[in-house]
Structure 1
Amino acid sequence: MEITLTGITTTGTPHLGNYVGAILPAIEASRRKDVRSFYFLADYHALVKCHDPALVHRSRLEVAATWLALGLDVENVIFYAQTDIPEILELTWMLTCVTAKGLMNRAHAYKAAVADNVADLDKDPDKGVTMGLFCYPILMAADILMFKASKVPVGKDQIQHLEMARDIAARFNHLYGEHFVLPEAVVDEKTAVLVGLDGRKMSKSYGNTIPLFEPEKALRKLIMRIKTNSLPPEAPKDPDTCTLFELYRAFASTEETTAMRARYAQGIGWGEMKQILFEYLNDRLREPRTHYHDLLARPDHIQQILQRGAARAREYSAPFLAELRHAVGIRPLGT
């Protein structure tokens, strides 16, 4: 059976861009019966970028509630928190001991941090670089290799990490025998990348996001802030350069999108389009938003779901780690 794995970093409140780019495709995939799927909260990964305990704690709750509210089938998939699987950190150390530093030197995030320091004429090119940032790809490799995932859905910016995981796995297999499956990156070229309030890519780092489950009034206020040009209502407009249309298209059907294109060609006022977009999104998100807030009020219920998932995940990770310990020579004396 094909095994897939998807990690969800817990560093903030999920927004519309997360929903369209990652959450919706993954939840649809979670209903497949011919695939064994692992979905996890990447809460150790969150510590690389976020040193605010309250934010990490809150984000773990919000991210889990988001996926559950939107329909993740936890009976069909294995849904757990990374921090509830102790075998992952032990495997991370095993992999660290076979990973060349030169491989980590080539990681995009590390190279970008060094480049920023050099550009600032800082005497130390590694200023501000933690070992968490430097070794991030090894932890990601452990997440994947632990469960023998053959397919890993990722964005284009994560392809390098999958290639590194393959390199690390191949090195371990060469030294200790064929234990790991070499994973393949699955990149959906059709996945939309949404533009935010200011016209740039929607991202928490830019502060231009629209949180997925904003209350109705707050959602409308955010949509009314989206930047548009100064064309008058009666002027024909290009939908493919319009943030409002892009957001609408990400949620609408093909027929609805075609009809909206015609409205743009005929001329539509920005105020009218913003109201249409607000009503469309608000209607689409109303039911899961209610479910989401109900889940937030029941953190113990979410914890129970994650713990059940962790117990199922450890049915795979515990015996596999025992196999790997034996392979590297950590086994009872006299055997």
Structure 2
Amino acid sequence: MAGSRILSGVQPSGKLHLGNYFGMMKPALEMQEEGEAYLFIADYHALTTVHDAARLREWTRDVALDFLACGLDPERTAFYRQSDVPEVHELAWLLSVVTPMGLLERCHSYKDKTARGVTPSHGLFAYPVLMAADILCVQSDKVPVGRDQKQHVEVTRDVAAKFNHQFGEVFRLPAPEIRDSVAVVPGIDGKKMSKTYGNTLDIFGDEKTLKKNVMRIVTDSAPLEAPKDPDTCNLFALYRLLAAGDETEALAERYRAGGLGYGTVKKDLLERIQAYFAPMRARREELARDPEAVEAVLARGAARAREEARRTLSRAREAVGLPPGAIGREDTP
């Protein structure tokens, strides 16, 4: 819808890789063309799994540098740290008092993470309530998410509807936006690219390591002269993310004709990764030399988000019977 308010968030959880870029970052950057965009670095959410203060600070800084280097325009997108908008956390409490336990118990993210060995905590269990506050505090219309996060947006709608029913109309009901065009990027072992699996191709990392990992991408054992199926090849799936349509089709024809070695495709893929991200790498290096400018971008984004969040929180407080309190104070970060 024209003029939509769109929100997305990203956890600071490590170095940027191809899967992050094509799976989340590129779609998030496209929000700038579609409506009023809000994008936050979810550092409070990250605390459920990141317990090293220095690492959290480093990864948060990395996310800010990565997004700005890859094309985020702070004039069109309110870009901010979650922890710089404290209204979110008061709103999370107001939402928590109307959130049924059973609703949280049915959330698969908690079950999945604890099954993978993440220590159970109240923060991990109540993660969907804080996510609801992130979304509702700026009155988002649309939330682009992967299918694994769709349930959390549905929880947000349920909680907002329950609050509105009990206390009066305060919140818009946001809609999850599942983008089928968003790429599922294979890692070097053929599984979904993920830091969890240690199978990533880092974008801004050491180029020697990138080359080594590209050469490790798993392929089948078909001999050089044999025809090959591009639709089942991890290399081809990565290549098509970086190449134009006619280039992709030309490579597919070479696959099917036979006589093409995987080593040749790996060398081409490496060159394409380096060329695609070279301008972004240079921009990132420039930004890293001016940390105060990056902080200023985040501060401006937080001020914009807080302006909207204060209005929302004021309405929510009034609806439940609380006084306005400190809503009008000017302690923006």
Which residue number corresponds to residue 17 of structure 2? 15
Matched-pair contact (CA < 8 Å) for 1:38–1:77: yes
2:287 to 287, 291, 295: 295
1:166 pairs with 2:173: no
Which residue number corresponds to residue 56 of structure 1? 56
Q: What is the distance in 2 between the residues matched to 1:224 and 1:192?
A: 22
Q: What is the distance in 2 between the residues matched to 1:215 and 1:291?
A: 16
Matched-pair contact (CA < 8 Å) for 1:87–1:318: yes
1:269 to 251, 261, 276: 261
Closer, same or farther: CA 115–29 of 1 in aligned 2, 3 Å = closer
Q: What is the distance in 2 between the residues matched to 1:15 and 1:114?
A: 25
Which residue number corresponds to residue 135 of structure 1? 126
Alpha-carbon distance, 1:47 to partner: 0.5
Q: Which amino acid counterpart does residue 186 of structure 2 have in structure 1?
A: V
1:91 pairs with 2:83: no
Q: Which amino acid counterpart does residue 194 of structure 2 have in structure 1?
A: S
Q: Which amino acid counterpart does residue 216 of structure 2 have in structure 1?
A: R
Which residue number corresponds to residue 65 of structure 1? 65
Q: Compute the TM-score of the two structures, normalised by the length of structure 2.
A: 0.93
Closer, same or farther: CA 220–167 of 1 in aligned 2, 3 Å = same
Which residue number corresponds to residue 233 of structure 1? 224
Matched-pair contact (CA < 8 Å) for 1:62–1:296: no
Alpha-carbon distance, 1:77 to partner: 1.4
Alpha-carbon distance, 1:293 to partner: 2.2
Matched-pair contact (CA < 8 Å) for 2:139–2:312: no
Q: Which amino acid counterpart does residue 299 of structure 1 have in structure 2?
A: P
Matched-pair contact (CA < 8 Å) for 2:314–2:324: no
Which residue number corresponds to residue 111 of structure 2? 111
Q: Secondary structure at the match of 1:37?
A: strand
Matched-pair contact (CA < 8 Å) for 2:22–2:183: yes
Percent of pairs identical after alignment?
47
Alpha-carbon distance, 1:332 to partner: 6.5
Matched-pair contact (CA < 8 Å) for 1:162–1:185: yes
Q: What is the distance in 1 between the residues matched to 2:315 and 2:226?
A: 68
Alpha-carbon distance, 1:115 to partner: 6.2
Alpha-carbon distance, 1:55 to partner: 1.8
Which residue number corresponds to residue 297 of structure 2? 305
Q: What is the distance in 1 between the residues matched to 2:151 and 2:121?
A: 20
Alpha-carbon distance, 1:79 to partner: 0.8
Q: Secondary structure at the match of 2:72?
A: coil
Q: Secondary structure at the match of 2:189?
A: coil
Matched-pair contact (CA < 8 Å) for 2:6–2:31: no
Which residue number corresponds to residue 331 of structure 2? none
Alpha-carbon distance, 1:28 to partner: 2.4
Q: Which amino acid counterpart does residue 268 of structure 2 have in structure 1?
A: I
Which residue number corresponds to residue 36 of structure 1? 36
Gaps of at least 5 residues in structure 2 are: 326-333
Show CA shifts across 1:118-147 (max 9, x none). Answer: xxxxxxxxx931001100000000000111
Alpha-carbon distance, 1:109 to partner: 2.2
1:185 pairs with 2:176: yes
Show CA shifts across 1:156-201 (max 9, x none). Answer: 0011101100010011101110000111000011211011011111
Q: What is the distance in 2 between the residues matched to 1:310 and 1:109?
A: 28
CA RMSD of aligned residues (A): 1.7
Alpha-carbon distance, 1:266 to partner: 2.1
Q: Secondary structure at the match of 1:48?
A: coil
The 5 Å alignment of 1:214-253 reads 214-253=205-244
Which residue number corresponds to residue 308 of structure 2? 316
Alpha-carbon distance, 1:114 to partner: 6.3
Which residue number corresponds to residue 123 of structure 1? none
Which residue number corresponds to residue 25 of structure 1? 27
1:279 to 240, 252, 271: 271
1:151 pairs with 2:139: no
